Structure 1
């Protein structure tokens, strides 16, 4: 019986556009919600409230991998579990490209460290929390800490790298020079 390395679910990304608060920024874009099991979308307007507009910007797969269960467990243990939406400026007609959605705070941190992508933290719906928790319970294995032990061989008996081996040392190389040896 083959065990799957990953599972996935489609996740719709809802992005809100609001007017900027300074004269240098016309609009601010922020990921505000996710829609588990959503169909395909391409910046479909969902609702408008004054100057604020919410779009179903894209649908991306949320993949869970068996090797990342520790990260998912860490994300689920926070006060408000979240999905991290990674976006970057678009080169096309759309304002932003949704790169991916992840439940791993470690992966989100890696994207945030590059500075090229915008990473938004979106609260996770209860059904998605339960789905990820079930996956973690099925595949998570605590890693046993094994303390590294040193070998018993003595390496401090040799003095490698002290002085030049080609030059004969008649005395201790650590001694202070005597007054006779100083050149004026």
Structure 2
């Protein structure tokens, strides 16, 4: 599903940041756009920054259900500083998976914003997740039957002759000059 990403530019609060950029909304079914101004209120400006495709995968249904169970279900917008061009940010991804969003947040290279999911989008993601979700059966690992009470012969490397315990601390030998 195409999702338009709405980014708000606010004046910075420090002398080091002229502007603060924040993803504030998504527009399901939006057409193509590239930093089209939507609204201006004083110093705050909202842009339809980009339209990206929200792709859902049947292998990620557990993550979608986890995200939908939050108090406010969200879409995560992944952005990074633009390297070239006139746009201040590159909008790289939109996802409904909080697990995928966390992976991007962990790198520290991208800015990940949590945007409330509109009602229609909640229903669409929920329908997809319920149609494709398969509970994974927990399989407990079985312990091997190795005997641990037996005497251990051959501790250490067999190629190295040891006259004492291989775990002892090395002793200093006095050298004769």
TM-score (norm 2): 0.87
The gaps in structure 2 that reach 5 residues or longer are none
Residue in 2 aligned with 1:88?
Answer: 80
1:167 and 2:161 are equivalent in the alignment:
yes
Distance 2:153 2:118 in 1: 62
The match for 1:61 among 41, 53, 56 is 53
**Cα distance change on mapping 1:155 and 1:102 into 2, 3 Å:** same
SS of 1:21's equivalent in the other structure is strand
SS at match of 2:65: helix
Report how many aligned residue pairs link the two structures: 169
Q: Quote how far apart the aligned CAs of 1:139 are.
A: 0.4
Deviation at 1:168, TM superposition (A): 6.6
Q: How far 1:95 moved relative to its partner?
A: 0.4
1:75–1:81 Cα contact (<8 Å) kept: yes
CA RMSD of aligned residues (A): 2.3
Q: Distance in 1 between matches of 2:71 and 2:154?
A: 55
Q: Deviations over 1:67-90 (max 9, x none)?
A: 000110110011100000000111
What corresponds to 1:71 in structure 2?
A: 63
Distance 1:43 1:126 in 2: 25
Residues 156 and 52 of structure 1: is their aligned pair in 2 closer, same or farther, counting only changes over 3 Å? Answer: same
User: Among residues 127, 139, 144, which one is paired with 2:132 in the alignment?
Assistant: 139
Alignment gaps of 5+ in structure 1: 1-8, 177-182
* Cα separation, 1, equivalents of 2:56 and 2:151: 52
Distance 2:150 2:72 in 1: 57
Other-structure match for 1:110: 103
SS at match of 2:113: strand
Query: What is the CA–CA distance in structure 2 between the aligned matches of 1:58 and 1:68, rounded to whole Å?
Result: 24
